Amino acid sequence: MSKIYHHPVQIYYEDTDHSGVVYHPNFLKYFERAREHVIDSDKLATLWQEKGLGFAVYKANLTFQDGVEFAEICDVRTSYQFEGKYKTLWRQELWRPNATKPAVIGDIEMVCLDKQKRLQPIPEEILAPLSIG
């Protein structure tokens, strides 16, 4: 796996259910935001506009180990590795303040697709900078 990237996540009231705990699908949003910061949002937008290439979640597995509550500021820790020329594997963990274990662990597989949703090799402009990390 790559080095670990950190991304802060503020938990808002709108993210929670009636008990004040984060509603489980929101963790996918937090993980998506963290991945965007690793890859670079501008780079992703340019890739789509100029080459018609983007990334899609192929598989997602979430393990919930602790509840996350309204008003906490958590840390999403992200690492990745390449699997072949089409797929990246992402390990993401959401940590509560002062926790000894992650509250949520996400194992996400992403693939590169063109506008017709056909599998494409990960382009060099994404591959090269991530290979350094």
**Domain annotation for the chain: domains and CATH numbers:** 5-132 (3.10.129.10)
How much is the CA Rg of the chain, to the nearest whole Å? 16
Q: How far apart are CA 29 and CA 15, in angstroms?
A: 10
Please tell me the predicted confidence (pLDDT) of residue 2. Answer: 84
Instruction: List per-block mean pLDDT (blocks of 10 residues) for the chain, which spans 133 residues.
Output: 94 95 97 94 92 96 98 98 94 98 98 97 84 65
Please tell me the predicted confidence (pLDDT) of residue 132. Answer: 63
pTM: 0.92
In order of 33, 85, 92, the CA distances from 27 in angstroms are 10, 27, 10
